[in-house]
Amino acid sequence: MSRPPIPFTDRIARALPQIVVAPSFAAILFFVYGFIAWTGYISMSKSKMLPNYDFVGIRQYWRLFQMDRWSVALENLFIFGFLFIAVAIVIGCLLAVLLDQRIRAEGFIRTIYLYPMAISFIITGTAWKWIMNPSLGLETVVRGWGWESFRFGWTNDETLAVYALVMAAVWQSAGFVMALFLSALRSVDQDIIKAASLDGASPWKIYTRIILPSMRPVFMSAVVILAHLAIKSFDLVVALTGGGPGYASTLPANFMYEMTFRRNEIGVGAASAMVMLATVAAIMVPYLYSELRGKKHV
């Protein structure tokens, strides 16, 4: 490869990066964008039990937005998404700062905080459902200790069920956020911190003025990863609340599944999927744009 070759192989060698990227890119184009396009078309067809290619315009969207179940699902997504991301970041950040205080047994404690990330949402959901069961779970235990009015049966209360989802999801992901923040804390330039503390800055000041502001990129990464978990949350709902009571804790992913596979409404299911994608795009595209623009010359 090193000596000046004939022009053709030279061209190949030059184009190698593109050639290497091509299969992955082609796969993504087909399996992501091709499928999105297919879903987009189906959302404007009269598909019922099986895909059908008769065009009906925006009728399925019109029907979608009249469905009570869909408004509940969409509203839940915003409540769940916002709280999940916010609480996971606050707790993750707090844990990272706590662990950063040169404590003994850090590795051990870190593992305890991190392990939920290894577990599937199905299992997380099953375990928390078991704990939140009013007669077998924690409620009975704590009442047995003498706290008679203690209530932990969130999954059984239509106004609280969505918060039960948030709690379980935060439990699962806070450790991961902690790991992200902890690694970022560790890579902050130690000299700046030393200089600041020599100047007499309190630890609180050092954290709020120097360290945390320097972690903006990590913060963004955490938001992206958590947002992806939130929008895809499906298994957790199935295992923890089953979308209930009633359909009070259903999320768009569950709605789409129910419509497509259970109610022979593939068209409405596809329309709901397109709305979900549009929501993601509305958040992600500006973010990707600003991030990548700033990095053009890296």
Partner 1 sequence: MSDHTYSPAQGQSVLWMRLLLWALLILFAIWFLLPAYVVVGTSLKDLEEIRGGSLLALPHELNFSAWKHAWNEACIGVRCTGLEPYFWNSVFMALPAVFISTLLGALTGYALTKFQFRGANMIFALILFGCFVPFQVVILPMAQTLGRLGITNTVYGLILVHSVYGLAFTTLFFRNYYVTIPDELVRAATIDGAGFFTIFRRIILPLSPPIIVVSVIWQFTQIWNDFLFGASFTTGGAQPITVAMNNLVNTTTGVKQYNVDMAAALITAAPTLFVYIVAGRYFVRGLTAGSVKG
Partner 2 sequence: MTYFSKALVSAVALTVAMAAPAKADPKAEVLHYWTSGGEAKAVKALQEAFAARGGEWIDAPVAGGGGDAQAAVLRARVLAGDPPAAVQIKGPNIQEWAEAGALADLSDVAEAQNWDAVLPQTIQDIVKYEGNYVAVPVNVHRVDWIWANPEVLAKVGADVPTTWDEFNATADKLLAAGIIPLAHGGQPWQDATVFETVVLGIGGVDFYRKALVDLDMDALGSDTMVAVFDQMRKMRGYVDPDFPGRDWNLATAMVMRGEAAMQIMGDWAKGEFAAAGLEPGKDYVCAPTPSEGGYLLNSDSFAMFNVSGADQVEGQNLLSELILGTEFQETFNLFKGSIPARTDVPRGEFDACAIKSMDDMVAAADGGTLLGSMAHEIAQAGAVRGAFIDVATAHFNSDMSSEEAVEKLVSSIKLAM
Q: Which residues bind partner 2 (CB under 8 A)?
A: 48-51, 63, 66-69, 129, 133-135, 153, 155-156, 158, 241-242, 244-248, 257-265
Q: How far is CA 134 from CA 78, 138, 169, 190, 250, in A?
A: 27, 7, 20, 50, 21
Task: Return the range that interacts with partner 1 (CB under 8 A); candidates 56-64, 79-87, 132-140, 241-249.
Answer: 132-140
At 195, which amino acid appears? A
Give the whole-angstrom CA distance, residue 207 versus residue 185.
10
Contact partner, 235, from partner 2, partner 1, none, Cβ < 5-8 Å per class: partner 1
| Partner residues linked to 45 by β-bridges | 55
Contact partner, 214, from partner 2, partner 1, none, Cβ < 5-8 Å per class: none
Contact partner, 208, from partner 2, partner 1, none, Cβ < 5-8 Å per class: none
What is the phi-psi region of residue 189: left when phi exceeds 0, alpha when psi lies from -120 to 50, beta otherwise? Answer: beta
Q: Which residue's CB is nearer to partner 1, number 13 or number 58?
A: 13
Give the whole-angstrom CA distance, residue 172 versus residue 98.
19
Is 111 a binder of partner 1 (CB under 8 A)?
Answer: yes
Which positions from 202 through 241 interact with partner 1, judged by CB under 8 A? 203, 206, 217-218, 220-221, 224, 227-228, 231-232, 234-235
DSSP the chain: --S---HHHHHHHHHHHHHHHHHHHHHHIIIIIIHHHHHHHHTTB--SSS----B-TTHHHHHHTT-HHHHHHHHHHHHHHHHHHHHHHHHHHHHHHHHTTT-TTHHHHHHHHHGGGGS-HHHHHHHHHHHH-TTTSHHHHHHHTT-TT----GGGSTTTHHHHHHHHHHHHHHHHHHHHHHHHHHTS-HHHHHHHHHTT--HHHIIIIIIGGGGHHHHHHHHHHHHHHHHH--HHHHHHTTT-STTTT--HHHHHHIIIIISS-HHHHHHHHHHHHHHHHHHHHHHHHHHHHTTTT-
Q: How far is the CB of 18 from partner 2 (least distance, A)?
A: 33
Task: Return the range that interacts with partner 1 (CB under 8 A); candidates 55-63, 65-73, 81-89, 277-285.
Answer: 277-285
Q: Which residue's CB is nearer to partner 2, number 226 or number 237?
A: 237
Q: How far is the CB of 50 from partner 2 (least distance, A)?
A: 5
Contact partner, 263, from partner 2, partner 1, none, Cβ < 5-8 Å per class: partner 2
**Look-up of token digits 């990863």:** 225
Task: Return the range that interacts with partner 1 (CB under 8 A); candidates 28-36, 62-70, 79-87, 241-249.
Answer: 28-36
Q: Which residue's CB is nearer to partner 2, number 85 or number 237?
A: 237
Q: Which residue's CB is nearer to partner 1, number 25 or number 65?
A: 25
Q: How far is the CB of 187 from partner 2 (least distance, A)?
A: 44
Q: Which residue's CB is nearer to partner 2, number 166 or number 178?
A: 166
Is 132 a binder of partner 1 (CB under 8 A)?
Answer: no
Q: Which residue's CB is nearer to partner 2, number 63 or number 232?
A: 63
Which positions from 64 through 83 interact with partner 1, judged by CB under 8 A? none
Contact partner, 2, from partner 2, partner 1, none, Cβ < 5-8 Å per class: partner 1
Contact partner, 256, from partner 2, partner 1, none, Cβ < 5-8 Å per class: partner 1
